[in-house]
Amino acid sequence: MIARPVGAQVAPQREEMRGPIVRCPVPVKNRRRVLCVFPSYVPAFGTFQHAYRLMYGVKAFMPPQGLLLIAAYLPEHWPVRFIDENIRPATQDDFEWAEAVFVSGMHIQRQQMNDICRRAHAFDLAVAIGGPSVSACPDYYPSFDYLHVGELGDATNELIARLARDPSRPEQQVVLKTSDRLAMTEFPIPAYELAEVKKYFLGSIQYSSGCPYQCEFCDIPGLYGRNPRLKTPQQIIAELDKLRECGVTGSVYFVDDNFIGNRKAALDLLPHLVEWQKRTGYVMRLACEATLNIAKRPEILEKMREAFFVTVFCGIETPDPDALKAMHKDHNMMVPILEGIRTINSYGMEVVSGIIMGLDTDKPETGDALLGFVEDSQIPLLTINLLQALPKTPLWDRLEREGRLLNDDDGRDSNVKFLLPYDQVVESWRKCMEVAYQPEKLFARYQYQCDYTYSQRIKVPVSPEQKSWANIRRGLIMLRNIFWKVGVLGDYRKVFWKFALGRLRRGDIEGLIGPALIAHHLIMFARAASVGQQNASNYSIRLREASVPAE
């Protein structure tokens, strides 16, 4: 872990550390110093903040793919500094160093992005914004000097050319829209070397973008298309090598919107991942997002098992078949849902599930049905959110037509006028959070995963990185934190020890640390949620920010 104190670090500048050369083709002579700032998140269910205090040096969730991609794409002789404000805020020194500022993020980070813009303007710097939020809603960002709408491509080149000519703030806002996207096969490796990767909970990587389905609430097909675009397996292997060089050794999340959006491509990639894991001693545990119908593809599941995929996030959304039909997510019913989950588990992969409440098909008994599903599925981690309408989705259009879109500023946890009374929906959500994450129930589900899922994983050797003193020390510190803060001081310590002793008797330290960290976050977050201290619409959990392939 990086031991320098937060706030005292200066991210390495790019002249010193470079990846393979695929960059902006615009010939530019002038040298510009670019400060890339990623906005902080408000605490959310899906970013695991409560786990960080049990870890060692972890401050943020995942390195943002989009900004690091842009950093790598900028002209070679442009110095770049990257700041993730989840780790430390951009300082006066950073702004004084910069000639231009780039920002990117999701809707949920809108306020923070506008705040970065305000701070940069105090130094009279031109500020450009790209990424999913501005691409969907340019009008959210009236103060920025440059809006980069769409993915990496001709708009990016134009932005670079303009800044090269003149870095000062334009007299009025300039909107640059990508009409010619750069093929993902030409994407440079994101500038992971600029991020303090060891301060992240997870590593991130992206193979594809887009999804062939059209779930009513989802903005992915509208923003990134229905025909998934792809990198090559060779690019992914080079990225994994770079992540490893930068010090990532734990879990790495494929942030693709749907890992099997193009099944053939997934099958093409997997043997390369298997090879890479064998070559490196299985240094990384892999995770991804995929549709539940992956359960129908044993040939993919078997290869994922060999490549040491340990977690799959499935947007199950609801166990109610009528609701799935109504939201156009029929593909979740290609196999019976519980059977699909069991199948994935049997290949050693834990299922994480997205769940939505507040659907038009919900009834007063929906909450109880959901809790029944949690028990039956034995899924430990379910992200239970209230329905939120995102701009540029069929849901948004329908609700607008029906006059059921509400103002974001109404102090509600959703911008949707539900068919059931709002208070009833929120109350039901709170009850589900409270019951699903009672420590006894949660650790019982983890015990099930130990017995029936983790036991199905391939036995991997201990990699040189894992054997290193730095890694052993990190593990010991985490164990100490868990034992002290949960096992001694925690109010659910009895339940914890029942689970922990079982793991310790088997010598399964990893199987103890992972669930203990996640469970602690879930328990703490759910307690706050059940008494109304957390927002009920953490739609950011779907990790789309990291999946944005361009700014």
**Which residues contribute to the site for ligand SF4 (CB under 6 A)?**
211, 213-215, 218, 220-221, 257-258, 291, 315
Q: Which residues contact 99 (CB under 8 A, 6 or more apart)?
A: 32, 33, 34, 125, 126, 163, 167
User: At closest approach, how far in Å is the CB of 213 from ligand SF4?
Assistant: 4
- Closer residue to ligand SF4, CB minimum distance, 130 or 228: 228
Residue 447 CB, nearest approach to ligand SF4 (Å): 30
SS (H, E, C) 303-314: HHHHCCEEEEEE
Residues 6+ apart with CB under 8 A from 466: 249, 281, 283
Run of H or E residues at 355: strand 350-357
Q: Please report which helix (H) or strand (E) contains residue 255, including its range.
A: none
Q: What is the token pair recorded at 542? A: 């779907």
| Identity of the amino acid at 363 | K
Q: Residue 11 or 218: which CB sits closer to ligand SF4?
A: 218
Contact predicate 23/72, CB 8 Å: yes
Q: Which of 347, 227, 237 is nearest to 299 (CA)?
A: 347
Kind and range of the H or E element at 299?
helix 298-306
From the list 337, 381, 15, 43, the residue with the least C-alpha distance to 194 is 15
Q: Which is nearer to ligand SF4, 213 or 253 (CB)?
A: 213
Angle of CA points 428, 432, 433, to nearest 5°: 120
Task: Considering the complex, state which of residue 258 and residue 537 has its C-beta at the smaller distance from ligand SF4.
Answer: 258
- Smallest distance, ligand SF4 to C-beta of residue 459, A: 32
Backbone phi and psi for residue 420, each to the nearest 5 degrees, phi listed first = -80, 160
Note whether 444 and 498 are within 8 A (CB). no
SS (H, E, C) 506-519: CCCHHHHHHHHHHH
Three-class secondary structure of residue 195 per DSSP? coil
- How many other C-beta atoms lie within 10 A of the C-beta of residue 532? 12
The CA angle 525-531-537, to the nearest 5 degrees, is 60
| Helical spans, DSSP H, in 44-153 | 49-52, 65-73, 92-97, 110-121, 132-136
Please state, in angstroms and rounded to a whole number, the distance separating the CA atoms of residues 217 and 414: 13
Minimum gap (Å) between residue 337 Cβ and ligand SF4: 14
CB of 329 to ligand SF4, least distance (A): 6
CA 58 vs. chain centroid, Å, equals 16
Residue 376 CA from chain centroid, whole number: 27
Kindly state the smallest distance separating residue 328's Cβ from ligand SF4, in Å.
8
Nearer to ligand SF4, 84 or 257 (CB): 257
Please provide residue 355's backbone torsions phi and psi, each rounded to the nearest 5 degrees: -130, 140
DSSP label at 60? B
CA distance 504 to 510: 10
SS3 call for 316: strand
Task: Supply φ then ψ for residue 179, to 5 degrees.
Answer: -110, -25
Q: Which of 272, 275, 259 is nearest to 344 (CA)?
A: 259
